[in-house]
Chains A and B, each alone.
Chain A
């Protein structure tokens, strides 16, 4: 009796752990590893130049034509408060889709390299340190560790909220 109960609890906890694990797409910008919820990413394309939009702040790299759709491309590096990304021949664009409450929004993110899709269980995700990450804490969903390297899991809804980006553009224009 005791045994079965114990087993049940274990089963439950393991299935719960499974449910709580989610898939992340990991990528690199200037030797830093980042992760983003796989559900929010749509596709990865080769960087083939962008059309610059006049008067835009630096974090907006430009717009691209994605099969007939005009998609803004964000320099994530600038957005996170770092140097602008250096374009090289392996630079790629991660296309993400945000289903925020206001409206659905498609954005491209510049990255040096896209690495892999990994499963990370929620127990392996630690809270962001209050300081030291040099990234605004609210942008970070958590920190995961893999192969002795830290992966910063970004909260795309917060980092790339269209509303906030629009405010930043407005501020730049004034």
Chain B
């Protein structure tokens, strides 16, 4: 993997962690605060810092480090996350996000960004601790004290997580095909090598020199989040004949002392190397060596012997704890990874896959037809199994493109919180239908229009607290984001219980801006739609949230670019609702497959109430209405409404045979309307992929899209509300025609 690719991974990961932090902060802000959440947010900050460190992105490390410290203190219950701190943490999170988006040079060039960082750190200072200094001095103090317990919390803090690795590889290492350099390189994948010392003490004189032998020894300080096991695994192939000591970040000076003793090189020199590595401080080394020699002198004293033994067991105990801590951490990381396991794929590749699978399904259908002709039961069964799997593959492939809208909605929680604070309003956001699935591309492109609408709703729609109390409304404004399927479309609705659109003001403004004539009579609906006019804004003062008059027309254009439409329903004093209707490109819907005059149609399953036999129900007085259990239900005839003629490949005789008096009626419901659709044949339920018909057919009402049937035939997906509307206009036109024609009729 090239460095760029790895960096890309870092950005993606950092983004995920930032989102996680935001979610946790939102939960904490809502009053939900427990250890798990605190751990989660701490881990996120910690991981960002760690990975940034690997890439030498010091600007991120320095800032995140402080944030992490504060979070750590909260985790240890040293401080509580009060409202003011949460606010600062929100800002800190945003700042980290900004830091991630720039590289080090850019950061150094932007003094503004640096100042924001400074201000934030300043703001955090009441909550940062003085622990750090005491942490570093702890090592030396601990030498003589009996207290050698190491809590996992301390592990995170001390010595910046530097492991100390002492490498004494066997002289035969190179002969065995192992290059020590490759181990060191691999270590950089686990963390950052802070310091490395090469020891050449073993170097023989030129006479004894063997060009194939390894004489180097290494002392390495490694800053890493990796577990002991992972680091040990690096040396898996050489550990048998080499002398490798790995000291965890929390290792006590005693452990180093032990290391110094164990190694063949001279103690004082080794000590200096350790100081160079940053593993020991000069002071503690001197103390340690002094006490060591002191102990050596008093070797006969049983107490110190005992102490040495204790030291060994102690070391054992420590490393065990370290391993446990490392293991649990690793497991946590693993479970976290499986929660949000994702890969990123170019959507073109997905489209290609989906097309291929479409071919597969069609071929499968052909094989099925052929197999049935053979009357070979074994073959037919095998093909049936094949059929089953092909369909599963198709569904799985189609699902790849779909993502739930919940992720997008979730982002608005933060926006609403911040905007509410800025405006001094109280707003409660409810989310419905978060698991409604939408094509990935659409989800991405919906972000902007939704943001505009939500901001507008909060700025202009919802009233201030005083106004709300004045009209006896709950001071908390309600804002609702919902998504649902409706008749082959996906509807995203944004509703508020605010003031609604002031139609008089809209009218005045439109006249003032010359958008409409003062005389023109407009319906309420038309007045509402005026807000989508470019350059229209009703806000008296331009706030920095909205009111620049560029919002709503952009919204409309964005939605139309997605082949969708936007509608407003607004009642003064009660609230407004924006409805974005989007076609389900590539969405899968459950439909009901019917046929009329050899043309295939699919009726969205969600709209269907029941299917009945039309022959059993007589028309009421020649009208297209039937009496269904006492209710009068109008119905429309597909053949008439779409002016269908039998397709060319059906012979006249067949066509005659196919137009029996017996017809099937599918009863559909849309909103409060119930209607019947008369068709020739019912084929049954089908799960189908919606293929948009393209811009040319945009004017065609009643058909929302097309779909491919298993045998490759094309079926049209009915748009029930449009179809009913079409029937109504047709009927009105016919009546008008009838009136016009009747006097002249021959």
Q: A residues bordering B, Cβ < 8 Å?
A: 49, 51-56, 60, 63-65, 67-70, 72, 102-103, 105, 162-163, 165-166, 169-170, 173
Smallest CB gap from B644: residue in A: A54
Q: Which residues of B contact A170 (CB under 8 A)?
A: 698-699
Q: Which of B312-320, B615-623, B711-719 contacts A (4 or more CB under 8 A)?
A: B711-719
Q: Which residues of A contact B714 (CB under 8 A)?
A: 51, 63-65, 70
User: A65 to B713, Cβ gap below 8 A?
Assistant: yes
Q: How far is the CB of A8 from chain B (nearest CB, A)?
A: 45
Q: Which residues of B contact A102 (CB under 8 A)?
A: 695
Q: How far is the CB of B310 from chain A (nearest CB, A)?
A: 74
Q: A65-B713, A68-B354 in contact; A166/B696 too (CB < 8 A)?
A: yes
Cα A163 to Cα B647 in complex, Å, equals 28
Cα A103 to Cα B600 in complex, Å, equals 28
User: A53 to B716, Cβ gap below 8 A?
Assistant: yes
Q: A54-B599, A54-B642 in contact; A68/B696 too (CB < 8 A)?
A: no
Within 8 A of A (CB), among B680-711: 691, 693-701, 703, 706, 708
User: B697 to A67, Cβ gap below 8 A?
Assistant: no
Q: Which residues of A contact B331 (CB under 8 A)?
A: none
Smallest CB gap from B600: residue in A: A51
18 more A-B residue pairs beyond the given contacts A49-B649, A65-B714, A166-B695, with a C-beta to C-beta distance below 8 A: A53-B716, A54-B642, A63-B693, A63-B706, A67-B359, A68-B359, A69-B355, A70-B714, A72-B694, A103-B695, A105-B695, A162-B694, A166-B696, A166-B699, A169-B698, A170-B698, A173-B699, A173-B701
User: B359 to A54, Cβ gap below 8 A?
Assistant: no
User: A53 to B708, Cβ gap below 8 A?
Assistant: no
Q: 26 A-B contacts, Cβ less than 8 Å apart? A: A49-B649, A51-B714, A52-B599, A53-B693, A53-B700, A53-B716, A54-B643, A55-B642, A55-B700, A56-B700, A64-B714, A65-B708, A65-B713, A65-B714, A68-B354, A70-B693, A72-B693, A103-B695, A163-B695, A166-B696, A166-B697, A166-B698, A169-B697, A169-B698, A173-B699, A173-B701
B358 interface hit (Cβ, 8 Å): yes
Q: A65-B713, A70-B708, A162-B695 in contact; A51/B700 too (CB < 8 A)?
A: no
Cα A173 to Cα B700 in complex, Å, equals 7
Cα A170 to Cα B691 in complex, Å, equals 21
Smallest CB gap from A170: residue in B: B699
Q: Which residues of B contact A55 (CB under 8 A)?
A: 642-643, 700
| B700 partner, pick from A69, A103, A169, beta carbons under 8 A | A169
Cα A65 to Cα B648 in complex, Å, equals 18
Q: Which residues of B contact A68 (CB under 8 A)?
A: 354-355, 357-359, 708
Q: Which 3 A-B pairs have the closest CB atoms?
A: A68-B358, A54-B642, A170-B699
Smallest CB gap from B692: residue in A: A70
User: B354 to A54, Cβ gap below 8 A?
Assistant: no
Q: A51-B713, A166-B698, A173-B701 in contact; A67/B355 too (CB < 8 A)?
A: yes
Within 8 A of A (CB), among B52-70: none
Smallest CB gap from A165: residue in B: B696
Cα A63 to Cα B362 in complex, Å, equals 17
Q: How far is the CB of B87 from chain A (nearest CB, A)?
A: 45
Q: Which residues of B contact A56 (CB under 8 A)?
A: 697, 700
Q: Which residues of B contact A165 (CB under 8 A)?
A: 696
Q: How far is the CB of A109 from chain B (nearest CB, A)?
A: 13
Q: Which residues of B contact A65 (CB under 8 A)?
A: 362, 708, 712-714
Q: Which residues of A contact B693 (CB under 8 A)?
A: 53, 63, 70, 72
Q: A52-B599, A63-B706 in contact; A169/B355 too (CB < 8 A)?
A: no
Q: Which residues of B contact A67 (CB under 8 A)?
A: 355, 358-359
Cα A56 to Cα B694 in complex, Å, equals 14
Q: Which residues of A contact B359 (CB under 8 A)?
A: 67-68
Q: Which residues of A contact B703 (CB under 8 A)?
A: 53-54
User: A72 to B643, Cβ gap below 8 A?
Assistant: no
Cα A144 to Cα B698 in complex, Å, equals 36
Q: How far is the CB of A67 from chain B (nearest CB, A)?
A: 5
Q: How far is the CB of A103 from chain B (nearest CB, A)?
A: 7
Cα A155 to Cα B580 in complex, Å, equals 37
Q: Which residues of B contact A162 (CB under 8 A)?
A: 694-696
Cα A151 to Cα B604 in complex, Å, equals 48
Cα A70 to Cα B705 in complex, Å, equals 10
Smallest CB gap from A172: residue in B: B699
Q: Which residues of A contact B698 (CB under 8 A)?
A: 166, 169-170
Cα A52 to Cα B700 in complex, Å, equals 13
Q: Which residues of A contact B644 (CB under 8 A)?
A: 54
Smallest CB gap from B702: residue in A: A54
Q: Which residues of B contact A173 (CB under 8 A)?
A: 699-701
User: B699 to A169, Cβ gap below 8 A?
Assistant: yes
Per-residue A-contact encoding for B327-361, CB less than 8 Å = 1, 0 else: 00000000000000000000000000011011100
Q: Which residues of A contact B643 (CB under 8 A)?
A: 54-55
Q: A69-B691, A162-B694, A162-B695 in contact; A54/B647 too (CB < 8 A)?
A: no
Q: How far is the CB of A52 from chain B (nearest CB, A)?
A: 6
Cα A39 to Cα B261 in complex, Å, equals 78
Q: Which residues of A contact B696 (CB under 8 A)?
A: 60, 72, 162, 165-166, 169
Q: How far is the CB of A97 from chain B (nearest CB, A)?
A: 13
Cα A68 to Cα B394 in complex, Å, equals 12
Per-residue A-contact encoding for B275-313, CB less than 8 Å = 1, 0 else: 000000000000000000000000000000000000000
User: B716 to A54, Cβ gap below 8 A?
Assistant: yes
Q: How far is the CB of A89 from chain B (nearest CB, A)?
A: 14
Cα A72 to Cα B600 in complex, Å, equals 17
Q: Which residues of B contact A53 (CB under 8 A)?
A: 693, 697, 700, 703, 716
Cα A170 to Cα B358 in complex, Å, equals 31
Name the residue among A54, A69, A162, A163 with the largest chain B CB count within 10 angstroms. A54
Cα A72 to Cα B701 in complex, Å, equals 17
| B599 partner, pick from A51, A60, A72, A169, beta carbons under 8 A | A51
Cα A63 to Cα B706 in complex, Å, equals 10
Smallest CB gap from B360: residue in A: A68
Q: How far is the CB of B232 from chain A (nearest CB, A)?
A: 52
Q: A63-B693, A68-B355, A163-B695 in contact; A52/B647 too (CB < 8 A)?
A: yes
Within 8 A of A (CB), among B192-241: none
Cα A68 to Cα B644 in complex, Å, equals 25
Smallest CB gap from B705: residue in A: A70
| A72 partner, pick from B354, B697, B712, B713, beta carbons under 8 A | B697
Smallest CB gap from B355: residue in A: A68
Q: Which residues of B contact A169 (CB under 8 A)?
A: 696-700
Cα A49 to Cα B357 in complex, Å, equals 22
Q: How far is the CB of A9 from chain B (nearest CB, A)?
A: 46
Cα A51 to Cα B697 in complex, Å, equals 14
Q: How far is the CB of B393 from chain A (nearest CB, A)?
A: 13
Q: How far is the CB of B690 from chain A (nearest CB, A)?
A: 10
Cα A49 to Cα B599 in complex, Å, equals 13
Within 8 A of A (CB), among B641-681: 642-644, 647-649
Q: Which residues of B contact A63 (CB under 8 A)?
A: 693, 706, 714
Cα A64 to Cα B357 in complex, Å, equals 17
Cα A121 to Cα B553 in complex, Å, equals 47
Within 8 A of A (CB), among B714-728: 714, 716
Cα A103 to Cα B697 in complex, Å, equals 15
Cα A60 to Cα B716 in complex, Å, equals 16
Cα A69 to Cα B712 in complex, Å, equals 10
Q: How far is the CB of A37 from chain B (nearest CB, A)?
A: 21
User: B700 to A105, Cβ gap below 8 A?
Assistant: no
Cα A169 to Cα B649 in complex, Å, equals 25
Cα A109 to Cα B644 in complex, Å, equals 23
